[in-house]
Amino acid sequence: MADTYVLVHGAWHTGAEMEPVARHLRERGHSVHCPTLAGNRAGDDRATMGLSEAAQSLVDYLVQNDLHGVRLMGHSYGGMVISKAADVVPARIARLVYWNAFVPLNGECLNDMVPPHYKALFDGIAAANGNAVMLPYPIWREAFINDADAALAQSAFDSLNLQPYRTFTEPVQLQSELATKPIGKSYLLCTEDTAMPHSLPWHPRLSERLGLYRLVACPGSHELCFTNPELLARKIEEAGRD
């Protein structure tokens, strides 16, 4: 059955990084959209833009493209954004899919869910860089894309763009907690992902906040969109189907 997927990228990314995954989903008969969120577009003000602007840009995209019955997938930071979109336009969404993504409670920001050493690192980078953050390459290589060879890790890193730090520090405002929302929910877990230390895991620490949800797991790092987009597409389909 053909479905409509909207793939929401994570921090430092744009919709372009989702396109290889989208191509495999389209080959399987689905309609797929890969928007770039406000804050990650060329020319966006990284010093001032935050989670509110990013979430509103996704809502605007769904409305302007008249999308309904959407399987809305958020990767990592994208989980913050799809959570807010589900609060604003729930009637347009058939299922939320969190791919190794943050699942906030009302009033939480992304930094509330990361280890203290990440917050301290980002605070320092943002203070020296106009309130924008970028991952240091060694962290990217070992914790985010540990299933890539050196050449792919470097080329993927070179495609990243500065992230507005307010997207990490601005709390999300939800009318109701995600666990109470009558929308289908799935959590897609890449098991070799160490972007979050396994002592503070993506699953079940964050996934269980969804209430009733479907768990789909597969091998791979935090950046499976680069290292195995075909596998990721199959797993997104498995997570998104009725």
| Residue 35 preceded by cis peptide, ω within 30 | no
Question: What pLDDT, in 10s, does the model give residues 9-27?
Answer: 999 999 999 999 999 999 9
Q: Residue 201 burial (CB < 10 Å; 0-12/13-18/19+)? A: middle
Question: What pLDDT, in 10s, does the model give residues 66-77?
Answer: 999 999 999 999
The DSSP-derived string for 87-150 is HH-GGGEEEEEEES---PPTT--GGGGS-HHHHHHHHHHHHTTTTEE---HHHIIIIISTTS-H
In angstroms, the CA 224 to CA 125 distance is: 26
Reported confidence tier of residue 200, pLDDT bands at 50, 70, 90: very high
CB contact at 8 A, 5 and 71: yes
Mean pLDDT of 90-102: 99
Question: What pLDDT, in 10s, does the model give residues 40-56?
Answer: 999 999 999 999 999 99
In angstroms, the CA 83 to CA 102 distance is: 9
Domains and CATH numbers, the chain: 4-240 (3.40.50.1820)
In angstroms, the CA 4 to CA 68 distance is: 8
Q: How far is CA 210 from the centre of its chain?
A: 15
In angstroms, the CA 224 to CA 235 distance is: 11
Instruction: Look at residue 31 and tell me whether its pLDDT is greater than 90.
Output: yes
In angstroms, the CA 29 to CA 152 distance is: 29
Instruction: Look at residue 94 and tell me whether its pLDDT is greater than 90.
Output: yes
Strand 70-75, strand 93-99: pairing: parallel
Mean pLDDT of 127-151: 98
Q: What is the pLDDT of residue 1?
A: 80
List of residues 6+ apart from 239 with CB closer than 8 A: 73, 95, 97, 99, 186, 187, 188, 214, 216
Percentage with pLDDT > 70 across the chain: 100
Mean predicted lDDT score pLDDT of the chain? 98
Percentage with pLDDT > 90 across the chain: 100
Strand 163-164, strand 214-218: pairing: unpaired
